[in-house]
């Protein structure tokens, strides 16, 4: 007597169960259809009410893995989930003012932004910026400020058109006394004229003091400011940082940065880049789904040439997908990126199984000449 084979026994038991289930469906076809439709409707309702997705890639890894624990701790200590705001303006002063205004406005919403900082600018660098310059640049700046001490004092005491005229008179007096050359006034007077013309034309006008103090035209980096933002991410949404980026864009619009400071605001960083990637998937989802459905129907037609069988296979796919989604949400609560990819796998395997089952059914029915015998 041969020893028992557990695997074979399980296979035979599953085969017997399948045969009995098929027989029940054959004997009660309308009850089977009604039960299936009710089950599919309930699964669809549950999926619509409880659908959730977690787009955090950390959820794909087990927290018990040692290397994953180190990676999670590193991400916690050195977070890289920020949005980098890049502002450009015609002058360094306008760029600084626009960056300060936007940063202050964002700090007023801690429920959306955990932290807001200004690398290389802000109040700290306004008070201590000279400490970070090379010695020769500090000397050049201090020499320029000391030479313009009287001029700066006059403008600081009366920052109006009258004060500007007094400063001009003071500069001309310096030329008369021989303290400065007349040619030295060409550049600052030209800069002042450009500022006045911009103001008269209704454009934002700010005198470029930093360019005057440095004695050279501003570089691209001088006209650029950065704001580092750590947003509150919603990983239940397909685009976790979209609410934060929209809030930044709306804040910049409300502050009228383009009109007041002629500032251009752009966003970069890992959050906007990932959101744009997910947005592309969402934008192409309808087209991709339609193309996939048409391709599946074409394959079914080429293989089966029967509208009734194709309809049965399509309904089975839809019902199975609804039930599978509902069971998945019931068991895990929220899907992840791999779970979403499973839907595509389900369609592929479902179509493959439907084709094999239908072709075998047609062959069996042709051999036996009976529907019930063919299905069994």
For position 39, what pLDDT does the model report? Answer: 92
| Nearest of 138, 324, 313, 129 to residue 214 by alpha carbon | 138
Contact 263, 95 (CB under 8 A): yes
Interior/surface letters 136-150, b for 16+ CB within 10 angstroms, e for the rest:
eeeebbeeeeeebee
**pLDDT (tens digit per residue) in 184-197:** 666 666 766 776 67
pTM for the model stands at 0.60
For position 234, what pLDDT does the model report? Answer: 81
Give 84's strand partners: 228, 268
For position 284, what pLDDT does the model report? Answer: 66
**pLDDT (tens digit per residue) in 33-88:** 899 899 999 999 998 888 877 776 666 677 787 877 777 777 676 666 688 899 99
For position 71, what pLDDT does the model report? Answer: 72
For position 67, what pLDDT does the model report? Answer: 75
- Residues in the chain with pLDDT < 70? 1-5, 56-60, 75, 77-81, 122, 126, 129-130, 141, 143-168, 170-175, 177-189, 191-192, 195-196, 199, 202-215, 280-286, 367-376
Question: Per-domain residue ranges for the chain?
Answer: 29-56+283-375, 83-268
DSSP per-residue codes, 253-291: HHTTHHHHS--EEEEESHHHHHHHHHHHHHHTHHHHHHH
For position 165, what pLDDT does the model report? Answer: 65
Contact 250, 98 (CB under 8 A): no
For position 249, what pLDDT does the model report? Answer: 92
What is the length of the chain?
376
């Amino acid at each position: 007597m041969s020893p028992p084979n557990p695997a074979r026994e399980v296979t035979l038991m599953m085969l017997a169960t399948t045969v009995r289930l098929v027989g029940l469906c054959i004997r009660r076809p309308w009850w089977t259809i009604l039960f299936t439709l009710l089950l599919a409707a309930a699964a669809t309702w549950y999926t619509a009410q409880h659908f959730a997705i977690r787009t955090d890639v950390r959820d794909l890894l087990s927290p018990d893995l040692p290397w994953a624990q180190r990676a999670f701790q590193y991400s916690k200590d050195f977070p890289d989930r920020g949005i980098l705001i890049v502002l450009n303006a015609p002058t360094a002063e306008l760029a600084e003012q626009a960056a300060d205004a936007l940063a202050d406005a964002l700090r007023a919403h801690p429920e959306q932004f955990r932290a807001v900082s200004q690398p290389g600018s802000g109040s700290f660098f306004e008070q201590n910026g000279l400490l970070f310059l090379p010695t020769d640049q500090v000397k050049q700046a201090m020499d320029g400020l000391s030479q313009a001490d009287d001029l700066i004092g006059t403008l600081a005491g009366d920052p109006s058109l009258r004060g500007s005229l007094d400063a001009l008179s003071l500069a001309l007096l310096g030329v008369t006394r021989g303290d400065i050359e007349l040619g030295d006034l060409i550049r600052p007077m030209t800069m002042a004229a450009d500022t006045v013309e911009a103001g008269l034309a209704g454009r934002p006008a700010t005198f470029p003091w930093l360019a005057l103090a440095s004695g050279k035209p501003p570089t691209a980096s001088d006209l650029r400011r950065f704001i580092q933002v750590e947003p509150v991410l919603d990983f239940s949404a397909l685009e976790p940082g979209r609410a934060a980026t929209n809030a930044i864009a709306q804040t910049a619009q409300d502050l009228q940065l383009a009109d007041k400071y002629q500032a251009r605001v752009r966003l970069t960083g890992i959050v906007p880049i990932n959101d744009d990637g997910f947005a592309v998937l969402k934008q192409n989802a309808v087209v991709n789904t339609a193309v996939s459905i048409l391709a599946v129907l074409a394959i079914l037609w080429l293989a089966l040439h029967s509208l009734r069988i194709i309809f049965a296979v399509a309904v089975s796919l839809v019902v199975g997908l609804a039930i599978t989604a509902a069971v998945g949400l019931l068991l895990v609560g929220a899907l992840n990126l791999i779970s979403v990819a499973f839907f595509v796998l389900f369609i592929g395997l479902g179509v493959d199984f439907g084709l094999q089952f239908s072709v075998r059914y047609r062959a069996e029915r042709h051999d036996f000449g009976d529907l019930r015998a063919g299905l069994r």
